[in-house]
Amino acid sequence: MSRDPEEVNKLTENTYKNVMEQFNPGLRNLINLGKNYEKAVNVMIVAGRAYYDSLAKIGDISAGSPVSKELGQVLVEISRTHKKLNDSLEESFKKFHKEIISELEKKTDLDVKYMTYLETVSSRQSDIQRFIAEGCREALLEEKRRFCFLVDKHCSFTQHMHFYHVQCADFLKSKLPGWQEICSDATKVPEKVRMMIDEIRTPGSTPVSGTPQPSPMVERNTVIGNDFYPHHENASNVPPAPSGRAYTSPLVDMFNNPAAAPKAPSEKLNHSADSSEDASLSRSTSVATGLNIMKRQKVKTIFPHTAGSNKTLLSFAQGDIITLLVAEEKDGWLYGEHDTTRVPAPIRSISSVNLVEKGEVVLPPPDYLGASQADKRAESAKGPAPKTPTDRAEPTKPDMNGIVKPPFLRTVGEPTIDVTWLQLSPNSMTTRHQKFCFSNSRNVLQFQSLTPFQSARWNPVGGFCEKLLPSDRWQWSDVSGLKHQQLDSFTLPSPHWEWESDWYVDENIGGEPTEKGIVSHDDPEQLPDPFNDISIGGWEITDEPLGRLSVWAVSLQGRVWYRENVCHYNPEGSTWSLITTPGEVVQISCGPYDLLWATLWEGQAIVREGIDRNNPQGISWSTVESPSSENGIMHVSVGVDVVWCVTKDRKVWFRRGVNSHNPCGTSWIEMVGEMMMVTVGLNNQVWGIGCDDRAIYFRQGVTPSELSGKTWKAIVSGRESDRSQTGSSTSLLSAGCFFTDDIQTQTSAIVQGDADTSSDTELPSVPTNPVNTLPMGAASSSSGNSTGSQTEVSADLTADPLDSDQGEATAASMSHEKANLEMHKSAASPNPSAELQWTNIDLKEAQKHPVLSVSSFADTSSLSSLGVFSAGAEDQYGADEHPLWAWVSGGGCLVDLHSPLKWFTAPSGLSSSVQSLSLSITPAQTAAWRKQIFQQLSERTKRELENFRHYEQAIEQSVWVKTGALQWWRNWKPHKWIDVRVALEQFTGSDGMRDSILFIYYMYHEEKKYIHVFLNEVTIIVEVLNEAKHSFALYTPERTKQRWPIRLAATTEQEMHDWLSLLTMSCCESRRIQGPPSHHAIWSVTCKGDIFVSEPTPELEAGPQLMPCDQMFWRQVGGHLRLLECNNRGVVWGIGYDHTAWVHTGGHGGGFSPGLASSADNIYTQTDVKCVYIYENQRWNPVTGYSSRGLPTDRYMWSDASGLQECTKINTKPPSPQWSWVSDWYIDFGVSGGTDREGWQYAADFPASYHGHKTMKDFVRRRRWARKCKIVTNGPWLEVPPVTLWDISIIPSSDADAEAAVALWAISDKGDVLCRLGVTQQTPAGTSWLHVGTDQPFISISIGAFYQVWAIARDGSAFYRGSVSPNKPAGDCWYHIPSPQKQKLKQVSVGRTSVFVLDTNGNLWYRQGITPSYPQGSAWDHVSNNIRKMSVGPLDQLWVIADKVQGSHSLSCGTVCHRIGVQPMEPKGLSWDYGIGGGWEHITVRGNATEASRVAAHDTSEENLAVSKDLEDEESKGKTEHSKTPLMVSESQELDRNAVNC
Partner 1 sequence: MSMRAFKWFLNSGRLGAVTTSLGKQKRSIGMTDDKDVLRDVWFGRIPTCFTLYQDEITEREAEPYYLLLPRISYLTLVTDKVKKHFQKVMRQEEVSEIWFEYEGTPLKWHYPIGLLFDLHASNTALPWSITVHFKNFPEKDLLHCHSKDVIEAHFMACIKEADALKHKSQVINEMQKKDHKQLWMGLQNDKFEQFWAINRKLMEYPPEDNGFRYIPFRIYQVHKTFFALLSDDTVE
Task: Report yes or no: 608 and 589 within 8 Å, Cβ to Cβ.
Answer: no
Rg (CA), the chain: 45
Name the residue nearer to partner 1 (CB basis): 710 or 1522.
Answer: 710
CB of 985 to partner 1, least distance (A): 8
Closest CA to 210 of 198, 219, 220, 200: 200
CB of 1018 to partner 1, least distance (A): 19
Name the residue nearer to partner 1 (CB basis): 615 or 918.
Answer: 918
Name the residue nearer to partner 1 (CB basis): 354 or 862.
Answer: 862
Residues 6+ apart with CB under 8 A from 78: 52, 55, 59, 175, 179
CB of 244 to partner 1, least distance (A): 43
Q: Tell the burial category of 363 from Cβ atoms under 10 Å away from its Cβ (0-12, 13-18, 19+).
A: buried
Q: Which segments within 288-407 are labelled E, that is strand?
A: 297-300, 321-330, 333-338, 344-348
- CA pair distance 1426, 927, nearest whole angstrom: 70
Pinpoint the alpha helices (H) of 664-719.
Answer: none
Name the residue nearer to partner 1 (CB basis): 929 or 1004.
Answer: 929
Bridge pairing between strands 1164-1181 and 1141-1144: unpaired
Q: 442 in helix, strand or coil? A: coil
Q: Give me the helix-helix angle, 5-17 and 129-184, nearest 10°.
A: 30
CB of 691 to partner 1, least distance (A): 23
Name the residue nearer to partner 1 (CB basis): 1007 or 1295.
Answer: 1007
- CA pair distance 409, 889, nearest whole angstrom: 6
Name the residue nearer to partner 1 (CB basis): 703 or 1493.
Answer: 703
Closest CA to 1305 of 1264, 1363, 1364: 1364
Name the residue nearer to partner 1 (CB basis): 913 or 1184.
Answer: 913
The residue type at 1423: V
Secondary structure in 3-state letters for 160-220: HHHHHHHHHHHHHHHHHHHHHHHHHCCCCCCHHHHHHHHHHHCCCCCCCCCCCCCCCHHHH
CB of 706 to partner 1, least distance (A): 18
Dihedral in degrees, nearest 10, Cα atoms 681, 686, 691, 694: -60
CB of 959 to partner 1, least distance (A): 6
CB of 923 to partner 1, least distance (A): 9
Tell me phi and psi for residue 1073, to 5 degrees: -110, 125
Tell me which residues touch partner 1 (CB under 8 A).
900, 904-905, 913-915, 917-918, 921, 926, 929-930, 932-934, 936-938, 940-941, 943-945, 947-948, 951-955, 957, 959, 961, 985, 987
CB of 723 to partner 1, least distance (A): 20
Ordered DSSP codes for 617-659: T-SEEEEE--SSSSS-EEEEEE-SS-EEEEETT-EEEEEET--
The residue type at 799: A
Q: Which helix (H) or strand (E) holds 92?
A: helix 69-95
Bridge pairing between strands 977-988 and 1471-1477: unpaired
Task: Report yes or no: 1023 and 1015 within 8 Å, Cβ to Cβ.
Answer: no
Say how many C-beta atoms besides its own lie within 10 A of residue 59's C-beta.
Answer: 24
CB of 692 to partner 1, least distance (A): 20
Name the residue nearer to partner 1 (CB basis): 137 or 931.
Answer: 931
Name the residue nearer to partner 1 (CB basis): 154 or 962.
Answer: 962
CB of 1135 to partner 1, least distance (A): 48
Tell me phi and psi for residue 444, to 5 degrees: -130, 125
CB of 900 to partner 1, least distance (A): 8
CB of 94 to partner 1, least distance (A): 43
Closest CA to 1181 of 260, 350, 66, 10: 10
Task: Report yes or no: 1091 and 1119 within 8 Å, Cβ to Cβ.
Answer: yes
Name the residue nearer to partner 1 (CB basis): 151 or 959.
Answer: 959
- CA pair distance 45, 787, nearest whole angstrom: 46
CB of 896 to partner 1, least distance (A): 16
CB of 921 to partner 1, least distance (A): 7
- CA pair distance 87, 48, nearest whole angstrom: 10
CB of 893 to partner 1, least distance (A): 23
CB of 879 to partner 1, least distance (A): 17
Closest CA to 871 of 890, 855, 854, 886: 886
CB of 990 to partner 1, least distance (A): 8
Name the residue nearer to partner 1 (CB basis): 512 or 896.
Answer: 896
Cα–Cα distances (Å) from 344 to 218, 326, 775, in that order, read 9, 10, 21
- CA pair distance 490, 1229, nearest whole angstrom: 81
Name the residue nearer to partner 1 (CB basis): 725 or 941.
Answer: 941
- CA pair distance 725, 187, nearest whole angstrom: 62
Name the residue nearer to partner 1 (CB basis): 951 or 1414.
Answer: 951
Name the residue nearer to partner 1 (CB basis): 26 or 900.
Answer: 900
Name the residue nearer to partner 1 (CB basis): 314 or 919.
Answer: 919
- CA pair distance 443, 420, nearest whole angstrom: 12
Name the residue nearer to partner 1 (CB basis): 959 or 1465.
Answer: 959
Name the residue nearer to partner 1 (CB basis): 620 or 926.
Answer: 926
CB of 1004 to partner 1, least distance (A): 17
- CA pair distance 1178, 593, nearest whole angstrom: 54
Name the residue nearer to partner 1 (CB basis): 941 or 1418.
Answer: 941
Ordered DSSP codes for 775-813: -HHHHHHHHHTSS-------STT---S--TTTT------
- CA pair distance 395, 602, nearest whole angstrom: 32
